[in-house]
Structure 1
């Protein structure tokens, strides 16, 4: 099996199991309905672990464009393979979303709320605040990738490392997931969101494309910077890319801060005239 096929299959497993737990908890007349955030967090952690177990020895089990870019920025993954990995991850995420749609087919019609249906596929903010939302995704992905890099300096009993990665995802979900749903993976959000938009899901609403850039930009910046930060702080190798990316992050945060102030003023004006 090629590494690209492995990334496709691993990401498909990740999204099928992760989206599956969201569907089970969110959709009506599921036995898991309303079982809570801890169940979702554990489900996503196990989904990541199973995906890594499945293809780790073949492709390294990135399963996430943010991880792929972080490794490329560190010089330990070839840049020429980055586009193929990211495309495979996106296609795998789309395939995983299709599996979830088919598996829970009768339950879509039983669930009236359109936002609940979208939450099975894509993340969204608990409070709509561009600056805080982007920063939240940056922080979650930064810690995720930094911890992944740190794991390499530790010895684990054979076969245990994927499970530890899964527990890392659980930890991030429980600690930081309550703000944006912790995408921490552009493929995890964009691929299923696209399937929500394209597939004839009964009673679905809009796919909230207005927000879709946040779980792409935040994780890519946070993950890439984590790779360069690890290289600089843990390895003592500071590259120009470190400072360039840091500058880009500052610019993005300043722009989103401005957006948040404008958005807040717009909402205030709207309330005054309602």
Structure 2
């Protein structure tokens, strides 16, 4: 179902708040994988505030939808979303990535309420998501599994073994989304280990590819609706994003795959986010 203008405004408001949250958590932690957290944020906002069948007051609900954030280093983006969705108090993130905190750089499903899968060893998220989707089918359950992949991690062979399985078993209860920001830890993906023709690779593995602007809520929603319809078979959403989205001095800069920000840079980051959302 197409998003209404009011829904888009509400999602934009959530995204604005959460970009500020990511800045704050990065300051509290002394550093984080902020670039990739910001690039995938709009995907997470749309899922958690529009699509997912979840209940934060009953986080173990048997029929809840599952989310596997395969790019586990994006926890600085994922944790604030879970907090704002009601899984835990946002103030608890002041201990993010500090000794004794439940919030590691890569979120642990055994420690952080609302996390369905521990990730961070790149390449393993899609295999886990395929297993979850197969499990739902075997149990004749209606819940869906959503998997968010980093583009850099698609260097891993396990991703393609899982893609082959998803296609072979016709897993239309799995929504696969690639955060295609074009960068990984050592540089541009096409320089480190070229992925292109990336979409054609997914097609060769039996997926219907939906290419969208990963920061456009309406476009993303249309792609998710197509994936959920099952009409096209297994789908992958190629969400074209910007690393560091919303912070002008970070956007498209591999330096900010991981970084720390002092009070001066934090204020510049907040001002940049406000300008993007017309709040300056």
Normalising TM by the smaller chain, what interval? under 0.3
| Bigger RCO (CA 8 Å, 6+ sep) | 1
TM-score with structure 2 setting the length: 0.26
TM-score with structure 1 setting the length: 0.26
Q: Please tell me whether Structure 1 or Structure 2 has the larger radius of gyration of its CA atoms.
A: 1
Instruction: Tell me which protein shows more helix as a share of its residues.
Output: 1
